[in-house]
A and B are shown apart, each in its own frame.
Chain A
Amino acid sequence: GENVEQHPSTLSVQEGDSAVIKCTYSDSASNYFPWYKQELGKRPQLIIDIRSNVGEKKDQRIAVTLNKTAKHFSLHITETQPEDSAVYFCAASTLTFQGAQKLVFGQGTRLTINP
């Protein structure tokens, strides 16, 4: 089945600098890759996603790139702000049997923005 690896597990950057989080996946059939932000005690919230028919997607300060050949995708946050501090999860969406589906998540990256 699908396996998603995420690095780094913790990341500390200065306010205004960029942050990059990387994920790899194993199932070449996966073709949808969302990123979720989770603040302490809160629900995961989708911040950006990418489908396999595109290589890059950008939304203001956030961008995601996808390399299907290498089976990896990355989250890029530019001009980081203190409110970007949270745990970020990458995920891969995969079809299971009988038309079912699920998200397989990475282990998470705790991002800290230092003022």
Chain B
Amino acid sequence: GAGVSQSPRYKVAKRGQDVALRCDPISGHVSLFWYQQALGQGPEFLTYFQNEAQLDKSGLPSDRFFAERPEGSVSTLKIQRTQQEDSAVYLCASSLGTLHTDTQYFGPGTRLTVL
């Protein structure tokens, strides 16, 4: 079946612009995660959804970052007033259930470049 998909794959924004990044998880997956991966680093947790409920947003770097999953499937990560330090690859992952031992499947990521 189809894996996790993300769009756009690449996004260039001018500093101060707002951006929206989309994640389509594997159908039926309850859990959805967003991670930020800086160049040459491991992914870092941003936020976690269980269905439509955002249970943990402790990793969001600032109040300029906002994520939603209104119908418990597709999720959007929005960054307002982008800054150069926001440049990174944003990865979405989903897992079937709610156990923290469930495998997380990653999307290809969106590479955001802020000029």
B107 at interface (Cβ–Cβ under 8 A)?
A: yes
Expressed in whole angstroms, the Cα–Cα distance for A106 and B21 within the complex equals: 25
A105 at interface (Cβ–Cβ under 8 A)?
A: yes
Expressed in whole angstroms, the Cα–Cα distance for A94 and B98 within the complex equals: 12
Residue among B40, B45, B55 with max Cβ neighbours from chain A (10 Å)? B45
Interface SS, A side = strand
Q: Are B105 and A46 in contact (CB under 8 A)?
A: yes
A98 at interface (Cβ–Cβ under 8 A)?
A: yes
Say which size band chain B's interface belongs to: 20 to 34
Expressed in whole angstroms, the Cα–Cα distance for A96 and B57 within the complex equals: 11
Q: Are B43 and A103 in contact (CB under 8 A)?
A: yes
Interface string of A51-62 (1 = CB under 8 A from B): 100000000000
Residues on A with C-beta less than 8 A from B100 are 32, 93-95, 101
> What are 15 A-B interface contacts by the 8 Å CB criterion?
A34-B103, A34-B104, A36-B106, A43-B106, A46-B103, A51-B101, A96-B48, A101-B31, A102-B33, A102-B56, A103-B35, A103-B45, A107-B42, A108-B40, A108-B41
- The residues of B with any CB-CB pair to A shorter than 8 Å are 4, 31, 33, 35, 40-45, 48, 50, 55-56, 58-59, 91, 93, 98, 100-101, 103-109
- The residues of A with any CB-CB pair to B shorter than 8 Å are 6, 31-32, 34, 36, 42-46, 49, 51, 89, 91, 93-108
